[in-house]
Structure 1
Amino acid sequence: MEGNEDLNCAMREAGLTQAELADAVNAHLRAHGHEGTVSDRTVRHWLTGKSRWPHRRQRDALEAVFGRTAEELGFVPPGRPSPAVEPEQHVRRRNFLMATTATAAMVTPINSRPSMVGITDVIRLRNGLDDLMTLDDTRGGHESLEQAALVGASRAMDMQHRAASQRIRQRLFSVAADYTATAAWSALDARHSDRAEQHLSRALYLAGLAQDPVVELRVWNSFAMLAHQRQHFTQAVDSAQAAQATAVSRRDPLFASLAHARTAVGHSNLGDRQAALRSLGHAGEALAKAEQGEPRPSWMAFYGPAELNSMTAIVRDRIGDAAESEAASHQALSAIPEQFRRNRALATTRLALAQLHQRDVDQACDTAASVFGLMSGNPLPGRMRSLLGDYYRDLITVAPNAPVTREWGDRYRLEWSRA
């Protein structure tokens, strides 16, 4: 008898125990006038595969709790040998047909009800985060995304005024912290540093109330990037090391790898070659131990071998290893998923910098120009504009009188005006 791994994964993503899922299903049944008779033993039968197709009312309740069909939760109708479910992440099941002016609508609305807040409400509210991260992957940080995230945080905090268990209150604080951290990231990517710092401070406070080490790591990672933007490189290292010290870094090697990689970037900015390479080594070792199939929040989807190669390219270029930086950039670009368009554009700019620092000016300019095509249709996020500005300054330094420098400068100014 095969266990139901889809349901098990959905429960881990939502942070639900068997008893909590039973409570959530029973709450839905009672809200619709039915008797709530599901127990943790019932859930155990679902998980082990002993019960492969629950009663209709139970299926409806499960679908409401998780926002997925029964088949997507691993249940099999009688007479069907296996679930006909495409192997895609939950976030990719939605049709993402949202214009920028309607970004705020992606935060899933919660109906105001006098009843007690339950896990279903928390899951429904958290689902909006996936949509925001999808937009960020494609376009990058911008003000409407930032505002939509703040709306989500406000809704989570408003629900604190309703009756709820202490565990649900902590989860609401966690959702609010995640939304606020998303707003901070959007401001950071747009290079609105003062707003980013304000949001990060608030997110760290909420994460503390939630006792959520995952959000704490996310905030410290963003603090390290903010310090880098402000050229406070010692503070960037301190923030990255704070991310290393979180409980989730000790528990999950993937998060530890990100924290070590961010520390390596900080050391490279300080010119500490050995410390930077040592941190890169720790990042690689941790990543090799990480279980890639484990459920993690959608904001962490960007990190893996491709992103570590991207960060390696940054470190290598800053410590003077331009050839190694170019190789790492090529490795990153060969592995970055297509949906991470902003990340591909950033990695491409890093490749251009590595080529330029090897005096391959024509190739570097061709590479850098391709960034505008990658981001066609959307304004360049502030962080990318800044990086392209760094490229142009280095280009003028390396080849001030070359015709390609003037040509690229004209293209850069044209694209800048469009942004």
Structure 2
Amino acid sequence: MLPNQELTQAMTEAGFTQSELADAMNARLRLDGCEGTVSDRTVRYWVTGKTRWPHPRQRAALEAVFGCTAAELGFTPPSRPGHPRESEQHVERRTFLIATTGTTAGVLAPLDSRPSTVGISDVIRLRDGLDDLMALDDTRGGHESLEHSAVSGASKALEMQRRAASQRIRQRLFSVAADFTATAAWSALDARHSDRAEQHLNRALYLAGLAQDPVAELRVWNSFAMLAHQRQDFNQAVDSAQAAQATAITRRDPLFASLAHARTAIGHANLGDRQAALRSLGYAREALIKAEPLPPRPSWVAFYGSAELNAITAIVRDRIGDPAEAEAASHQALSAIPVQFRRNRALATARLALAQLHQRDVEQSCDTAASVFSLMATSPIPGRMRSLLGDYYRDLITLAPKSPVAREWGDRYRLEWSRA
């Protein structure tokens, strides 16, 4: 008795355990109007080779679940001298029934019209597409085309739920759908389309719950905190960041804990709570020191590390009235932000310009702020960056309304604003 290696391989690719395959089989049998009689033992007999040719109804359900023939799954029919092979009888019977009744034809449809199974390779292909979108965001920032592509990716992941899959694969599909939807939300957030961002985030949080994915949940709460900041609802920003801190992943991976604490620090700084802001920054640094350098993590969090924490430190320090410390943190961030994160580098540069301006170094700050336009020269400026540059311009004309260099920068700003 030889084990059925083809079936074992098909189960592995689909993510089925023996119990999960039995459940999928019984669901398919009930869909065909038959009683679900497949047990763990039934599947074990198939896998070990003890049963080489399943019952016709079970065989038809197997073919529907995996989207291929029983022979391709490693099963072989028994030889019966003097009698037509059972598979040939089955084909002849199916041909007769299709010719005589449309109802039976619907039940016994050709194999290629049945829903195929979904395996781990399908999930990986979807995540590859998600990684491509994140790479585009790193360079260009949020925009409608990226948002629409992310929504389309989420829809594709959810459509796959209609096909046969193990419970583990279904949860992974929900996880991918949550990440795509969160990417759409982030793109809308970066473009400052807050209403669309909120709709996507609510959907992403629901999908993350279905997936039981704490990483996706943290990502959504992190974005909710940023959305609240855009709306200047700073109490809600702190609440959302603390919800991110409470997700299960922060107890398993200090890097995610660090991100949540850093986001909380910004909220406290916006509320004017200096001690709470600095305390949260301290927690963020302590957690980041504990983080392992290269465990498997999703692509969306690749931006976060010591460079990004320094960039967030610059925001916090500037908000609580420490512009010199903010300038130093900005320089540290810019020395370490990876080159592919062009949008983040431009944002950190704008923050550096603000810190310099708040120290009344007008000419230097104008030169620094102008370099933002050079960094983003090949792409439209995302809404969040445009808003930050608008904040810089308002502070500039408030602090140095008659400075020639300020007027020159204002002319450049208006020109670039129209281009963007």
TM more than 0.5: yes
How much does 1:113 deviate?
A: 7.3
2:133 is the counterpart of 1:144: no
Describe the shift of the 1:163–1:350 C-alpha distance in structure 2 as closer, same or farther (beyond 3 A).
same
Secondary structure in 1 aligned to 2:197? helix
Paired position in structure 1 for 2:411: 410
Describe the shift of the 1:351–1:294 C-alpha distance in structure 2 as closer, same or farther (beyond 3 A).
same
Describe the shift of the 1:144–1:113 C-alpha distance in structure 2 as closer, same or farther (beyond 3 A).
farther
| Contact 2:349-2:372 at 8 Å conserved across structures | yes
Describe the shift of the 1:20–1:264 C-alpha distance in structure 2 as closer, same or farther (beyond 3 A).
farther
How much does 1:261 deviate?
A: 0.1
Find the structure with the greater CA-based Rg. Answer: 2
Paired position in structure 1 for 2:5: none
CA offsets per residue over residues 287-318 of structure 1, 9 Å max, x none?
A: 00000111100000000000000000000000
Amino acid at match of 1:184: A
Paired position in structure 1 for 2:200: 199
2:214 is the counterpart of 1:225: no
Paired position in structure 2 for 1:383: 384
Describe the shift of the 1:238–1:128 C-alpha distance in structure 2 as closer, same or farther (beyond 3 A).
same
TM-score, normalised to structure 2, is: 0.74
Paired position in structure 1 for 2:313: 312
Secondary structure in 1 aligned to 2:236? helix
Aligned pair partner of 1:23 in 12, 24, 29: 12
Q: Where in structure 1 are there 5+ consecutive unaligned residues?
A: 1-18, 28-38, 40-110
Paired position in structure 2 for 1:373: 374
Counterpart Cα distance in 2 of 1:120 and 1:367: 47
Amino acid at match of 2:366: C
CA offsets per residue over residues 26-79 of structure 1, 9 Å max, x none?
A: 99xxxxxxxxxxx9xxxxxxxxxxxxxxxxxxxxxxxxxxxxxxxxxxxxxxxx
Secondary structure in 1 aligned to 2:204? helix
2:272 is the counterpart of 1:278: no
The more displaced of 375-384 and 162-171 is 162-171
Paired position in structure 2 for 1:292: 293
Q: Where in structure 2 are there 5+ consecutive unaligned residues?
A: 1-7, 17-46, 48-111
CA offsets per residue over residues 307-363 of structure 1, 9 Å max, x none?
A: 000000000000000000000000000000000000000000000000000000000
Describe the shift of the 1:25–1:266 C-alpha distance in structure 2 as closer, same or farther (beyond 3 A).
closer
In the TM superposition, 1:12-411 aligns within 5 A as 23-24=12-13, 114-411=115-412
In the comparison of the two structures, how many residue pairs are matched? Answer: 319
Counterpart Cα distance in 2 of 1:253 and 1:166: 29
The runs of at least 4 aligned residues of structure 1 exceeding 2 Å deviation read 19-22, 111-114
| Contact 2:225-2:240 at 8 Å conserved across structures | yes
CA offsets per residue over residues 367-402 of structure 1, 9 Å max, x none?
A: 000000000111000000000000000001110111
Paired position in structure 1 for 2:22: none
| Contact 2:353-2:368 at 8 Å conserved across structures | yes
Paired position in structure 1 for 2:96: none
Paired position in structure 2 for 1:30: none
Describe the shift of the 1:300–1:115 C-alpha distance in structure 2 as closer, same or farther (beyond 3 A).
same
Counterpart Cα distance in 2 of 1:279 and 1:20: 49
| Contact 2:15-2:169 at 8 Å conserved across structures | no
How much does 1:20 deviate?
A: 9.2
How much does 1:114 deviate?
A: 2.4
| Contact 2:14-2:118 at 8 Å conserved across structures | no
Report the RMSD for the aligned CA atoms in angstroms. 1.8
| Contact 2:14-2:120 at 8 Å conserved across structures | no
| Contact 2:14-2:119 at 8 Å conserved across structures | no
Amino acid at match of 1:294: P
CA offsets per residue over residues 78-112 of structure 1, 9 Å max, x none?
A: xxxxxxxxxxxxxxxxxxxxxxxxxxxxxxxxx99
How much does 1:167 deviate?
A: 1.1
The alignment-based identity, stated in percent, is: 82
Describe the shift of the 1:114–1:195 C-alpha distance in structure 2 as closer, same or farther (beyond 3 A).
same
Describe the shift of the 1:163–1:396 C-alpha distance in structure 2 as closer, same or farther (beyond 3 A).
same
How much does 1:182 deviate?
A: 0.2
Counterpart Cα distance in 1 of 2:162 and 2:375: 45
